[in-house]
Amino acid sequence: MAVESSPRRRADAERNATAILDAGLECLLVDPQTSMTAIARAAGVSRVTLYSHFPTREILLEAALERSVAEAVHALDVEAGDAGPADETLARLMRSSWQVLDRNFSTFTAAAAALPPDVIRDRHDRILRPVRDLILRGQQEDAIRRDLSADWLVTVVYQLMHAAAGEVQAGRLTSAAAPDVLTATVLAALRTRGGQQ
């Protein structure tokens, strides 16, 4: 045990953290009850190495989710910081956040199935904060409709993004076509009527 948890072991495990997360996610998507032993085997590490980083499946899943959320928040922050018209910024934001969602869809799916709703809701709120701020700005600038609440419009954006991801997973929409379809739908739903001409 002293040997297994030595600094060298831990350094190895850290170097492999991404590989462990990737392998673990893949296992958990196939079977949410995959044993830690099977995950260690899939990642090519010892069980002790695995446990030193991720004591439980839930912690592994939360770490994978955290990695994807950080990527999404970064992408959204970059786009939302744009000072241009809110509806145009929203269109760009939809496209870049679609790329993040498309790359991380399996993580979000596995996390949503296994983690407690309050954990999902917290990450979800963090991701959507820049979208909400942008919608509020758009409403002030009269680029985004004001007859519906910003909270509802954020929900609309979120649900339509997840709907598009679901359609891609089901093979009814291509990943290449999704950003255009999404943007056309979301802008029509959110823009003020004048803005739709």
Residue 63 near residue 23, CB atoms below 8 Å: no
Q: What angle do CA 172, 99, 163 make, to 5 degrees?
A: 40
Q: Is 115 in the site for a second copy (CB under 8 A)?
A: no
Q: Is 47 in the site for a second copy (CB under 8 A)?
A: no
Nearest Cα neighbor of 195 from 80, 76, 85, 82 is 85
- Contacts (Cβ under 8 Å, ≥6 apart) of 37: 47
Binding mask 168-187 for a second copy (x = CB under 8 A): ----xx-------x--xx--
Q: Is 30 in the site for a second copy (CB under 8 A)?
A: no
The least distance separating a second copy from the CB of residue 183, rounded to whole angstroms, comes to: 11
Selected from 156, 168, 174, 179, the binder of a second copy by CB under 8 A is: 156
Q: Is 155 in the site for a second copy (CB under 8 A)?
A: yes
144 in helix, strand or coil? strand
Question: And the tokens for 118?
Answer: 């309050």
Q: Which residues bind a second copy (CB under 8 A)?
A: 145, 147-148, 151-152, 155-156, 158-160, 162-163, 166-167, 172-173, 181, 184-185, 188-190, 193, 196-197
